Amino acid sequence: MGGAAEATAERTTETGSGEAAELARAEVGEREITNMLPAGGEGPDPARPLPENPPEGIEVYPPTTNRVVEGPIDYDREPPTNGNHAPLWQNCGFYPEPIQDRHAVHSMDHGVVWITHRPDLPQRQLETLRSYGDENYVVVSPYPGQDSPVIATSWRVQLELDGADDPRLDQFVDEFRVSELAPLSGNRCGLGVGDPAG
C-alpha cells in the first residue's frame, strides 16, 4: 500500500465506517473561501459543530470551490450541494415556485438548509414544509425533476426523504443549519434575492 492509501486506511479504522465516520472526516476544503463581509454588515452567527450521530442516509460530497461567478453555472447534481454561485444569495423562507440553483447554493454557503420537494407533493405535506420556511437559515422550494419527494441539503451534505413527515427532516435541519462545514456559515440569508411567501 502507498502512503496515501495507508493514511486513508488508518483514518477509516480510527473513525469507523459509514455515514457518521464520513461526516467526521469532512472539513472545509482548501479551495473554499472562508472570509467575507457578513450579510447586512453584522458579525456572523457562530458556526455549529457537525453532529456525531447524523440522520441515517446522508450523503457527504467532496469540497469544490465557492467563488462568486456571473452567469449560468453547471452543477454536478440536482439539487446541487455546493460549488460556485451567484453574487447574491436566496432570502430564507418558503417559495411556492422554483428558485435558481446558483442563488440557493450561495445561501447554503452561508449555512442554510435548502429543503426541496417535488412539485406534485400532497398539500398536507406542503403545509408541513411551509412551517420550515419560518425558521432561520432555511429555504424551502419545489424542484422539478427530483426523484425523491423531499430532499434536505446543506453545504456538501444531502438527505433524500420519502416525505415531509419523515423525522429525519427535523433532525437534519436542527443538526446541519449553520454547520461548520459551510465555508461562510452564519452569514445569514436576508438582503439577498427572492420574496418568500408568508
Three-state secondary structure readout of the chain: CCHHHHHHHHHHHHHCCCHHHHHHHCCCCCCCCCCCCCHHHCCCCCCECCCCCCCCCCEECCCCCCCECCCCCCCCCCCCCCCCECCCCECCEECCCCCCHHHHHHHHHCCCEEEEECCCCCHHHHHHHHHHCCCCCEEEEECCCCCCCEEEEECCEEEEECCCCCHHHHHHHHHHCCECCCCCCCCCCCCCECCCEC
93 CB burial (10 A radius; 0-12, 13-18, 19+)? buried
Domain assignment of residue 70, yes or no: yes
Q: Could you read off the pLDDT of 152-176 as tens digits, one per residue?
A: 999 999 999 999 999 999 999 999 9
Residue 88: how many other CB atoms lie within 10 Å? 16
> Does the residue 13 lie in any domain?
yes
| pLDDT band, very low/low/confident/very high, at 14 (cuts 50, 70, 90) | very low
Question: Is 168 inside any structural domain?
Answer: yes
Per residue in 55-107, pLDDT tens?
A: 999 999 999 988 999 999 999 999 999 999 999 999 999 999 999 999 999 99
Return the pLDDT at 195: 94
Q: Is residue 95 part of a domain?
A: yes
Residue 20 falls inside a structural domain: yes
- Owning domain of residue 16: 3-176
Would residue 192 count as lying in a domain?
no
Distances (CA, A) of 35 to 18, 43, 171, 187: 31, 11, 28, 10
| Spatial distance between the Cα atoms of 88 and 105, rounded to a whole number of angstroms | 10
- In the structure, what pLDDT confidence band is assigned to residue 5 with cuts at 50, 70 and 90? very low
8 within domain boundaries:
yes
Whether residue 114 lies inside any domain: the answer is: yes
Q: How many domains does the chain have?
A: 1
